[in-house]
């Protein structure tokens, strides 16, 4: 006789799967990122691991709030504060911004998973339906806490020098001391703020499209890779290279410029075309030189946004699929 799983256990499972997604992402030797064989000069894998350990409670609280949204007495505007608390927790042990982009994706997904907890079998459509409702119900309080989260993390990357970086975008720049007052005055939501950055930031674009790229493109690609490769690390690496080959990484674009991002994407296309015809044990012949090249430029060619998006797709896969992890 099967024991009925409690709500608390299911909420814990959501948090654990989010952490596992982050661990699988950071441990996989993805070119250009920090991984178990390569540190950046100022950020090491130990910093990422420490951040991930600190996120179990914020992720649990996100899933718990999503669950309580099913009742009429639940507090209606916590998305922003949950993001801020996760950012604070991730920086508690070392004060480094290691996971901002990942947090911006995983906290809303954890809320959505908690909200859908009563579903007999969680589906992609049900998860995304919950996510859409949560994103579109954000209000000015969420936006203020969101700006505070960005100010705490103080993410790197140059201000984009492009037509998309309009005077309006500059007015709402999180680094400005006037932004929070402006958000209050104009009653902006998180979605309003993300719309200002969507043309040059892939994570902001996900917010404005209800995570369309993650759900409709990356998650199916992740499932293809998981079915194709025996080891989950190989599936993660293949998915990463595919994602990097699909469109320019916007973190590279902001730090190194559009041309650099385009060149990295084109190299990733060539490497991905080779690895899908090669046994995984031989991938290092192509992947290692690519990793060396990306790291030779410091953090300028770090495909950080691609890694964040991959973590989101991994989390969805862990939530929806019966993935065998130990082979």
What value does the mean pLDDT take over residues 46-75?
Answer: 91
Rounded CA separation 82/62 (Å): 6
CB–CB of 206/213 below 8 Å? Answer: yes
pLDDT tens digit string along 167-219?
Answer: 666 666 787 888 899 999 999 999 999 998 898 899 999 999 999 999 999 99
The tokens of 190 are what?
């998180």
With 0.85 as the threshold, say if the pTM is over it: yes
Report residue 297's pLDDT band, with 50, 70 and 90 as the boundaries.
Answer: confident
- What is the pLDDT at residue 70? 81
> For residue 38, what are the β-bridge partners?
35
Given a cut of 60, is residue 159 above it in pLDDT? Answer: no
Q: What residue spans define the domains of the chain? A: 7-320
Helix count and strand count (H, E) for the chain: 18, 0
CB–CB of 22/110 below 8 Å? Answer: no
What value does the mean pLDDT take over residues 57-68?
Answer: 96
Given a cut of 90, is residue 96 above it in pLDDT? Answer: yes
Q: Is the dihedral of CA 181, 206, 62, 112 positive or negative?
A: positive
What value does the mean pLDDT take over residues 2-24?
Answer: 91
């Amino acid at each position: 006789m099967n024991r009925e799983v409690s709500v608390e256990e299911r909420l814990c499972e959501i948090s654990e799967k989010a952490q596992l997604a982050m661990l699988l992402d950071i441990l996989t030797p993805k070119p250009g990122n920090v991984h178990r064989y390569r540190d950046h000069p100022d950020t090491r894998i130990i910093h990422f691991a420490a951040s991930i350990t600190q996120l179990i409670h914020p992720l649990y609280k996100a899933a718990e709030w999503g669950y309580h949204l099913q009742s009429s007495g639940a507090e209606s505007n916590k998305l922003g504060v949950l993001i801020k608390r996760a950012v604070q927790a991730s920086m508690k042990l070392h004060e480094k911004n290691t996971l901002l982009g990942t947090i911006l994706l995983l906290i809303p997904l954890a809320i959505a998973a908690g909200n859908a907890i009563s579903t007999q079998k969680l589906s992609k459509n049900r998860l995304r339906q919950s996510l859409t409702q949560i994103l579109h119900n954000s209000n000015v309080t969420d936006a203020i806490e969101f700006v505070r989260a960005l100010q705490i993390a103080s993410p790197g990357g140059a201000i984009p020098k492009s037509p998309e970086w309009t005077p309006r975008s500059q007015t709402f720049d999180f680094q400005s001391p006037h932004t929070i007052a402006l958000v209050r005055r104009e009653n902006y939501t998180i979605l309003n703020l993300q719309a200002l950055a969507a043309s040059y930031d892939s994570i902001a674009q996900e917010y404005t499209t209800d995570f369309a790229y993650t759900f409709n493109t990356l998650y199916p690609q992740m499932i293809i890779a998981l079915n194709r490769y025996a080891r989950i690390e190989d599936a993660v690496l293949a998915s990463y290279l595919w994602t990097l080959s699909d469109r320019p990484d916007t973190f590279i674009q902001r730090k190194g410029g559009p041309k650099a991002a385009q060149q990295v994407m084109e190299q990733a296309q060539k490497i991905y075309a080779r690895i899908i015809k090669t046994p995984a044990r031989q991938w290092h012949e192509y992947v290692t030189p690519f990793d060396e090249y990306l790291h030779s430029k410091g953090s300028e060619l770090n495909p950080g946004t691609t890694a964040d998006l991959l973590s989101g797709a991994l989390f969805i896969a862990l939530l929806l699929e019966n993935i065998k992890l130990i082979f």
